[in-house]
Amino acid sequence: MRNILLTITYDGTNYCGWQIQPNGITIEEKLQRAFQRMDGSVVKIIGSGRTDARVHAIGQKANVVLNSSVPTDRIPYALNANLPQDIVIKDAKEVPMDFHARYDAVGKTYRYRLYTGKFRDPIGRNYQYHITDKIEIGKLNEALQALTGTHDFKGFMATGSSVKSTVRTIEAVEVRSVDRNTLDVYISANGFLYNMVRIIIGSAVDVAKGKISLEQLKSARDSQKRQLAGHTAPPQGLFLEEVRYLIND
């Protein structure tokens, strides 16, 4: 028996998210089928966290306890041969048997892509949020920086989640210009709530558009009232970039 940590990249466009569900195809379901086709293995896949429908991942992590003769370094090749083109296993490594991809995570980084071109981009439409109104980049960054640090982010969480604590620490936020019309926002934290990144992005965009004030955003932060924050940005601009652990990666 080995506990194997996988690094997974996927295009979430055609999936109903990470977690298996009865009414749609998911990433987890495709991975389970790939293991079965590899050597008949029936495994429980433990993801570092769920991603929603149409959300992408560059460095999703998951662990599986595996009883298989396939060498660890060959597992990515064996699985990729049985996965669709929009899901790829980039790495597999053996970790301690008590390692848990979700509970042992100490931090994550998400990237969100904003596109500000005059007309929609038919090529990139599945990977970015097209904003037609003019936004002020300085105000966007100011709004994002107002949310760094340790806060109760209940006001930036969608309903439908039951967590013991809504306090999280945003360690860093960075806005990077990709080209004249494209911005990438990187957000690193010790953990995220349900739809937290998308609500933060939507709120910062609303501040940058002048739809809500910076003071209102701070009130949403301090009062934990969802109605004071901005809209929820759409899923297709969101990428899970990295999951961090104390073990050497």
Catalytic center residues: 52
Sort 183 into a burial class: Cβ within 10 Å, 0-12 / 13-18 / 19+.
buried
Query: What's the CA gap between 2 and 95, in Å, rounded?
Result: 8
Tokens of 46: 């433990």
C-beta separation of 182 from 113 below 8 A: yes
CA dist 38 → 11, 19, 26, 83, 92 (Å): 22, 21, 19, 10, 14
Residue 244 pairs with which residues in a beta bridge? Answer: 107
